[in-house]
Amino acid sequence: MLRFPIVLPAAVVIACVFDGSLANAGERGNRGDRPNIVFLLADDLGWADLGCYGSDLHETPHLDRLATQGIRFTDAYASASSCSPTRAALLTGKNPARLGITDWIAWKADYVRPHAKLKEVSNAEQLELEEETLAELVADAGYRTAHLGKWHLGHDRYFPQHQGFDLNVGGIETGFPPGGFFLPNRIDLPNVTRGEYLTNYLTDRAVEFMQDSKDRPFLLSLWYYVVHKPIEGPDDLVKYYERKISRTNPRRHRNAEYAAMVGALDRSVGRLLNTLDDLGIADETLVVFTSDNGGIGKNYGRWDDVTNNWPLRRGKGSYYEGGLRVPLIVRQPGVTPSNTECSVPVVTHDWFPTISTMLGEDTADDIDGVDLSELLRRPDETKLNRQAIYWHYPHFHPGGGPGTAMRSGDWKLIENFEDGSLELYNLKQDIEEEWNLAPERPLIADRLHRQMKNWRETIGAKLPKANPDYDPERAHQHVWLSGDGK
């Protein structure tokens, strides 16, 4: 199996809504032995986009340093191959299929295939307020809570300030910044000037929140909008990478604007880590860095060559590894060993039960994630109590079609709903998913398929039905109703 160092997700920035000021947000008392939590989520950052994950172009010294200080996961997965489902799963600990959020929210306004063989199922329009969120969980334990950056989990009644966060900066319903990264004023952010780079602005506000919260436990949920489209990097970094690309060709990664966005993300992470050091609270803080889905790469659609997920197959929107496997770096001094690589498969919705355990709370029966506490302490010795990780996507996407996938040990099974076919891969021997072993290993494929179907029934996963407007000659035609994709 090919081995690479770990990479972390990118994010994009949008609007800002305040629910109280930094000065009065969550006055709840001293930290005690409760760790601060800094959760950094990038948007569309690919598994191979960081230096420590093997990028041949992008330079990410701050994230690379973070990886040497903690655990780098080689087999970490997003809860879905698109953004909203993963975000909902992170906040609740539940599989997106259980929540009914299986595609980006407002998806019907974008990519549809009206004459396909199957009719897509409905997708929830928001994360319901009845769901307990990670912010509500830690707030009950005395934490101050702040959400900065992308939200994409519903309209104003479902914004972060209604889901347990004391402060919301930039979290609204949309999936990418209207006007672009250099026009953050388009989302009514306070004290921002035209031309300021959105990633930098969000980092500024995050630094302020940490400075104001240093004497009590806090949750900083910073979901960057980078590296989601529009692909716009800071000018100095764009010029730097243009020169670097011109000196050495060919490269797998060759998009200077995208590389600059990754570089801006890395700079911001460096500022956050330096702030923890300057405040003297780095040793009391859990830092998690990851991405919401795989990178936009080959065979995706209109945005091919944004990045390259090699050796992983395909990218965002796909059930192949390039759409699901993401970088994950975790550092908690006194808990996580330094400079450690872990190949145990983990998934985004594991973080809710993990943090719940850290706080001494019980986990509800409908939580689908598993507790990673012991794995973080002993990554070389711990086996998780889990049969499989599941992904369910009953929709069409530029990156792939409707289906269900699962990983059980080294085996990966994919069921394609349109034709009912099965694909079976041994990821230890074939990380590129080149050899479908279903015809050769029918007993394994059948066993996993029965397990998959039982899981779908147990969790209440919705399945697409026959489309009355099916037209074989036009089945693969798609329509972008709004002219944009997420």
CATH number at residue 160: 3.40.720.10
Rounded CA-CA distance 464/402 in Å is: 8
Mean pLDDT of the region 237-259:
91
**pLDDT tens digits for range 416-426:** 999 999 999 99
Torsion-angle region of residue 382: left (phi > 0), alpha (psi -120 to 50) or beta? Answer: beta
334 within some domain: yes
CA atoms within 13 A on the CB side of 379: 22
Which domain does 230 fall in, by range?
Answer: 36-115+124-386
DSSP letters spanning 30-99: --TTPPEEEEEEESS--TT-SGGGT-SS---HHHHHHHHHSEEESSEE-SSSSHHHHHHHHHHSS-HHHH
* 345 within 8 A of 362, measured Cβ to Cβ: no
Rounded CA-CA distance 348/358 in Å is: 17
What is the DSSP secondary structure assignment for residue 210, as one 8-state letter?
H
434 within some domain: no
User: Predicted confidence band at 232 (pLDDT cuts at 50, 70, 90)?
Assistant: very high
Rounded CA-CA distance 22/233 in Å is: 29
Mean pLDDT of the region 61-65:
98
Rounded CA-CA distance 10/7 in Å is: 10
**Is 70 exceeded by the pLDDT of residue 54?**
yes
Q: Read off the tokens for 73.
A: 């996961």
Pairs from 426-432 (Cβ < 8 Å, separation ≥ 24): 427/1, 427/321, 428/1, 429/1, 431/1, 431/2, 431/311, 431/312, 431/321, 432/311, 432/312, 432/313
* Closest to 222 measured CA to CA, from 9, 415, 31, 432: 9
H or E stretch covering 209 = helix 198-212
**Is 50 exceeded by the pLDDT of residue 307?**
yes
Q: What is the pTM of this model?
A: 0.92
101 within some domain: yes
H or E stretch covering 202 = helix 198-212
397 within some domain: no
Angle (CA) 95-154-230 rounded to 5° is 95
The reported pLDDT for the residue numbered 30 is 52
Beta carbons within 10 angstroms of residue 429's beta carbon: 10
Q: What's the domain count of the chain?
A: 1
* Closest to 210 measured CA to CA, from 134, 131, 285, 261: 285
CA 318, 320, 324, 327 dihedral sign is negative
User: Predicted confidence band at 475 (pLDDT cuts at 50, 70, 90)?
Assistant: confident
User: Predicted confidence band at 481 (pLDDT cuts at 50, 70, 90)?
Assistant: low
**pLDDT tens digits for range 18-45:** 333 333 444 434 555 799 999 999 999 9
**pLDDT tens digits for range 109-146:** 567 888 999 998 999 999 999 999 999 999 999 999 99
465 within some domain: no
73 within some domain: yes
**Is 80 exceeded by the pLDDT of residue 191?**
yes
User: Predicted confidence band at 207 (pLDDT cuts at 50, 70, 90)?
Assistant: very high
167 within some domain: yes
Helix (H, G, I), strand (E, B) or coil at 405: strand
Whether omega before 230 lies within 30 degrees of 0, making that bond cis, reads yes
Residue type (1 letter), 403: G
47 within some domain: yes
Sheet holding 340-342, edge to edge: 167-169, 144-149, 218-223, 36-42, 285-291, 328-331, 71-73, 340-342
